[in-house]
Structure 1
Amino acid sequence: MNGPQAHWLERRLHLNHGPIDLIIEAFGDAGECRAAYGQAVTRFQTILAELVDELPDLRTPASLDPRAFASPTAQRMEAAVSPLAESFITPMAAVAGSVADEILAALLTGRKLDRAYVNNGGDSAIHLGPGQSMTLAIAGTGHDLADRITIRAEDGIGGVATSGWRGRSFSLGIADAVTVLARTGADADAAATLIANAVDLPCHPAIGRVPARDLAPDSDLGDRLVTTAVGPLSPAEIAVALDSGLAVADDFRRNGLIAAAALFLAGQARVSGSTALAAPNEIPGKEVAHA
């Protein structure tokens, strides 16, 4: 495997190492931005190696009593999943969001930036200074849902993440996509995983499933059945599956774990918590996160 790579995509910084693929953009004073980018590149050099060192424990189920990890990124992962550990979840459910959070923290250390984001394959960490706002692109929407939403500093949202059976990671559910807004990228990532798992129709004959281990021998999901295909479903069945996921999203929101969630399956959608997700597109802006 090649070592950490860094190069420019016009005004954005691209960092890549193994499975980690980051797009970073900072806004503000040019000197501050240059220094911030340098800090991000420096921090990125060791982040994957640190996670690999603790990978066996990161693949084991979390509990309500957080465990001690050495690396800051692993600590972020554990902190995000521990409050959700009444359901099966491992810290790997928050890895993409936690990496984004860690690099954003490096970007911001000692710097004064107006806005910044770190996009890790659609799971993003976001910084907004006082009075600032940012527009996020949400793909796969429709059905009167916005494909762009604007968040403001006062909203307290620092992360957006998406999970579903069509995504990069395995899912126990059948959601095409679940996008979550939360305080951090790690929190959004972990919550999106469990909400997407809950969008489900257990034992339905139209749904194909195989043990995760058959697709990836080292998967943290082991022998749990992950979704590989979703066949035709009736509108009533789609509604039942979405409402199951919505109940989990609403519970997370009531307990302060997320700010909002949008759930999508086979042409239907549900929204928990934010009218912004259901509003018509009104404010043009920069695409940041692609769900």
Structure 2
Amino acid sequence: MSARQQAKFLPDGRRLHLQDGPIDLVIQADGAPAAIDIAYDAACERFATLLDELCAELPQLRQRLTKDSVLPQGPVAARMAEAAQPYAAKHFITPMVAVAGAGAEAILNAMVGAAPLSRAYVNNGGDIALHLDDGATFEIGMVDRPDQPRLFGKLAIKSGDKIRGIATSGRHGRSFSLGIADAVTVLATNAPGADAAATMIANAVDLPNHPGIIRVPADSLQPDSDLGRHLVTRAVGTLTRTEIARALARGVRFADSLLAGGQIHAAALHLSGQTRLVHASPGLMTTIGQAKEAFTHAAS
């Protein structure tokens, strides 16, 4: 790894923290001690190339994806485009919609490919790529706002659930949002797919033309934003319970369509204290008064 990149264990001695520019990962592997060491070495080796690999195709990754787009060549960039493609025909989208999930998946694949692990995860700012061997389980808590974590429920994932990606998106997250959701949490088959779906569902939670919602062009806040002149949400005034319900209903309809199409396994949508759950398996996503851990930190 270069001097630009940082790798250190967190105080618990089990989780590894990797940081390079905007990429900030928390990693944990479970298995035999020797296998864990090999997996962490593999994670560091793959991480050393990740940012430069993405930057090599960054101008293309920031362009709108259409049926005529030239697809990126790098393995992570290709996964980003693949995750974005299902939305390209009807929505403005770029491959950057799945950058966090695809990055997490790349590091996880390096770990699992290097050593036999019973369980492992890579958490890229709340977008999580997950490995579960037969019989393994994974439980994390969920929050309704990433910037002001309040625990509202839990996710209990078993190896047989075939869920290997968890992502959260919304107007309080690291990226801009076209909608007004405080947070949308998605479970999907893989991390890039979860990342893209969470963003698109969060965009769908909205009240178009509402006078109390302040929006500005994305490039006025970040000149190189892949969203360009598209209006992103900067503030949401007080909404009535009816307005909150109407905005969430828009998001639920979109999430239901993704569930029916197999693009997601479940979603939790939050806005101004109200929550809606979308899932096909009762008990997979359970709303409770107190969860074991914050969503942005995977369970030990």
Q: Please say whether Structure 1 and Structure 2 have the same fold, judged by a TM-score greater than 0.5.
A: yes
Aligned to 2:110: 106
Aligned to 2:148: none
Aligned to 1:126: 130
Aligned to 1:218: 224
Q: Which runs of 5+ in 2 are unaligned?
A: 146-150
State how far apart, in whole Å, the 2-side matches of 1:56 and 1:2 are: 25
Aligned equivalent of 2:28, options 21, 25, 41: 25
- What is the root-mean-square deviation in Å for CA atoms of aligned residues? 2.0
Deviation for aligned residue 1:250: 0.5
- Aligned positions of 1:56-205 closer than 5 A: 56-64=59-67, 67-85=70-88, 86-140=90-144, 146-205=152-211
Q: Which deviates more from structure 2 when the two are superposed, residues 18-27 or residues 68-77?
A: 68-77
Partner letter of residue 164 of structure 2? G
State how far apart, in whole Å, the 2-side matches of 1:64 and 1:36 are: 38
Deviation for aligned residue 1:18: 0.2
TM-score for both structures, normalised by structure 2: 0.91
Aligned pairs, number? 287
TM-score for both structures, normalised by structure 1: 0.93
Aligned equivalent of 2:43, options 33, 40, 43: 40
Deviations 1:55-89 (A, max 9, x none): 01100111246743221110110110001212111
State how far apart, in whole Å, the 1-side matches of 2:106 and 2:154 are: 25
State how far apart, in whole Å, the 1-side matches of 2:64 and 2:52 are: 21
State how far apart, in whole Å, the 2-side matches of 1:62 and 1:147 are: 35
User: Contact 1:64–1:84 (CA<8 Å) still a contact in 2?
Assistant: no
Q: Which deviates more from structure 2 when the two are superposed, residues 260-269 or residues 60-69?
A: 60-69
Partner letter of residue 96 of structure 1? A
State how far apart, in whole Å, the 2-side matches of 1:185 and 1:228 are: 27
State how far apart, in whole Å, the 2-side matches of 1:240 and 1:48 are: 40
Deviation for aligned residue 1:289: 3.9
State how far apart, in whole Å, the 1-side matches of 2:270 and 2:193 are: 20
Q: Which runs of 5+ in 1 are unaligned?
A: none
The answer to whether the aligner puts 1:236 opposite 2:239 as a matched pair is no
User: Contact 1:64–1:83 (CA<8 Å) still a contact in 2?
Assistant: no
